[in-house]
Amino acid sequence: MQKSDDERSPLRKSLPEVTGELGSHLYLYQILDETPNGVMVVGLDHRVLYANPAANRLLGVLHRGILDTSLEVLLGPENQWFYYQIGQYFDNLTEIQRNRIRHEIQLETGADEKTILDAVLMYPPARPDYYLLYLIDITERKRLEGQLRRRNSFFNNLINSSVDGIIAADMSGKIILFNDAALSLLGYEEDLDGLESFHVTKLYREDMAYQIISRMRSDEFGGRGKLLHHEISVRHRDGHDIPVRFSGGIIYDNEKEVATFGIFTDLRAILKIEEDLEQTHNMLMQSEKMAGLGRLAAGVAHEINNPMSGIMLYANLIKEELGDDHQVSDDLDTIISEAERCKVIVADLLEFSHQTSYEMVPINFNEVVQKTLGILQNQPLYHNISVTLNLSPELLPSLGNAIRFNQVVMNLLVNAAQAMEGEGSLQIITRPRANSGVNEIIIKDSGVGIAEEHLEKVFDPFFTTKTTGEGTGLGLSVSYAIVKEHKGTIRVSSEQGKGTTFTLRFPAVASSLEEN
């Protein structure tokens, strides 16, 4: 016997039957009518059997205009992919493993306006001839999520763009934020894996982390939960200390401590600038002192030079008159020798006071260094000294006087040899700096070094650490004056027992000037 349509398709029910079933439960129907979420009953042919008012509103269809309408038409072309997935879902009912699928869909609701819906398809386990489609309006939630996402992105970019290191940790000390500047400051930018087990106490030496949290909890360092402008040291990954200015605080949630944060400003560049400024200030003070002493030295030199010339003249006349065999001849030689020594000192005083002038031409520092060293290496004092030369061929000429610069190099090399007592190592380096705009000369010895309390006085006239009769104390002061005359700088660094380094810098000139 041939079966009827209903008998052939037991899963298929008519629209009146479905709505009648709903109507038999008025309280359920009222709930569906009042819920803000869309509820739809859809047949297996994907035509709508029932839709509550919220579904009509969300889909933009008039009340009851949605009934018996294809789901493909209601979802629109922009959601064809979702309709295609529903079709695949019901292709073989016997193989359905899930009774629910969930996707977000978008509906055009006006010019540049969209409604975003969370669409949930539920197929009852009994597998009747319809399925349920719930529509939940998540447009506002998505808008807020987008705002939150953009805000988080902004704050992440802001934190990572900071030139200061920013680090945050939970109250157990586990790191929860480490910006790019902190990675660079502490040496972790090449190996982020090293941060997985990083604990906040690794930032500091000894118990400094606990001191910081204790001060944050105090009211004495900027208020409870704050610690402002503290200069401390943090530990680099390789173990050395980095001076930083620290500001930080505690983050609270309903008066409960949940995290700490710190902002770390690298002070190395600032301290270097302060050191350079202090050295520049000292050099200016030294220049003023040298200028005053220079004027005094010039006057003294002229006053001494004339009587010394008279003494030498009359001593030579007496020696000629008495002859070399006279008993006072040796005494006259002593007078003449000491007078000549005085004239040498006077000459140094005149050099120191800039009372002589020389022609300034482009000179090659490498040639001057090699020429000076060639003369000294033949002296007995240099026989047991190992000399290392590292002269850059890229050195541009500097405007100066080779004779006067030779005097500077000679003074420094002789001092180095005397400091090493004729045995040790001497290193001479020349190199371009500041994009070849500056020539640098470094003379480094392995001698006894200079005591810290004497470093600021080494360029003072007549200051010497040598014993009486070994030096006048004018060598370095004259060298300082010559360097300044060449518009250069000279600096000294030393540590007792570890040698001394003199660094000279002079402005370079264009090579074409040398050709002229």
Report the pLDDT value the prediction gives residue 344, as an integer from 0 to 100. 67
- Indicate if 172 and 228 belong to the same structural domain: yes
Helix/strand/coil (H/E/C) assignment for every residue in 301-352? HHHHHHHHHHHHHHHHHHHHHHCCCCCCHHHHHHHHHHHHHHHHHHHHHHHH
The whole-angstrom separation of Cα 138 and Cα 134 is 12
- Indicate if 493 and 378 belong to the same structural domain: yes
| Residue 232 belongs to a domain | yes
- Indicate if 214 and 234 belong to the same structural domain: yes
Nearest partner of 205 among 236, 171, 245, 167, judged by Cα: 236
Query: What is the number of residues in the chain?
Result: 516
Domain stops at, among 330, 356, 382: 356
Question: 349 is written with which tokens?
Answer: 């005083």
| Residue 156 belongs to a domain | no
Which domain, by its residues, includes 251?
162-266
- Indicate if 79 and 120 belong to the same structural domain: yes
Domain containing 311 — which CATH number? 1.10.287
> Which residues in 46-174 belong to E strands, given as ranges?
48-51, 100-110, 113-122, 130-137, 165-170
- Indicate if 193 and 337 belong to the same structural domain: no
The whole-angstrom separation of Cα 241 and Cα 72 is 68
Q: Tell me the pLDDT tens digit for each residue of 190-199.
A: 666 656 677 8
| Residue 28 belongs to a domain | yes
Domain stops at, among 356, 383, 406: 356
Q: What is the largest CA-CA distance in the chain?
A: 168
The whole-angstrom separation of Cα 54 and Cα 17 is 22
Report the pLDDT value the prediction gives residue 468, as an integer from 0 to 100. 44
- Indicate if 189 and 303 belong to the same structural domain: no
Count of domains for the chain: 4
| Residue 88 belongs to a domain | yes
Report the pLDDT value the prediction gives residue 308, as an integer from 0 to 100. 77
> What DSSP assignment string belongs to 165-230?
EEEEEETTSBEEEE-HHHHHHHT-TT-GGGGTT-BGGGGSSTTHHHHHHHHHTSSSSSSTTEEEEE
Nearest partner of 204 among 173, 162, 250, judged by Cα: 173
Report the pLDDT value the prediction gives residue 264, as an integer from 0 to 100. 92
- Indicate if 346 and 444 belong to the same structural domain: no
Measured in whole angstroms, how far is the alpha carbon of residue 509 from the centre of its chain? 33
| Residue 155 belongs to a domain | no
| Residue 295 belongs to a domain | yes
> Which residue's entry shows tokens 């006077």?
346
Q: Tell me the pLDDT tens digit for each residue of 128-169.
A: 788 888 999 988 888 898 888 888 888 888 888 888 989 888
- Sequence-distant (6+) residues with CB within 8 A of 224 are 217, 218
Query: Sign of torsion, CA 371 374 379 380?
Result: positive
Report the pLDDT value the prediction gives residue 97, as an integer from 0 to 100. 54
- Indicate if 502 and 401 belong to the same structural domain: yes
Question: 62 is written with which tokens?
Answer: 């008039």
DSSP secondary-structure letter at 47?
B
Q: Mean pLDDT of residues grouped by 10 in the chain (516 residues)?
A: 38 48 64 86 87 86 78 83 79 60 80 82 76 89 88 84 88 86 82 70 84 86 84 87 90 89 89 82 70 66 74 82 81 79 67 61 90 79 87 90 83 87 90 88 91 79 56 69 87 88 90 42
- Indicate if 233 and 314 belong to the same structural domain: no
The whole-angstrom separation of Cα 187 and Cα 208 is 20
| Residue 138 belongs to a domain | yes
Nearest partner of 12 among 142, 131, 187, 111, judged by Cα: 131
Domain containing 471 — which CATH number? 3.30.565.10
- Indicate if 99 and 124 belong to the same structural domain: yes
DSSP secondary-structure letter at 4?
P
- Indicate if 366 and 507 belong to the same structural domain: yes
CA angle 377, 380, 385 (to 5 degrees): 60
| Residue 166 belongs to a domain | yes
Domain containing 97 — which CATH number? 3.30.450.20
Contact 298, 353 (CB under 8 A): yes
- Indicate if 46 and 102 belong to the same structural domain: yes
Contact 12, 129 (CB under 8 A): yes
Domain stops at, among 247, 266, 285: 266
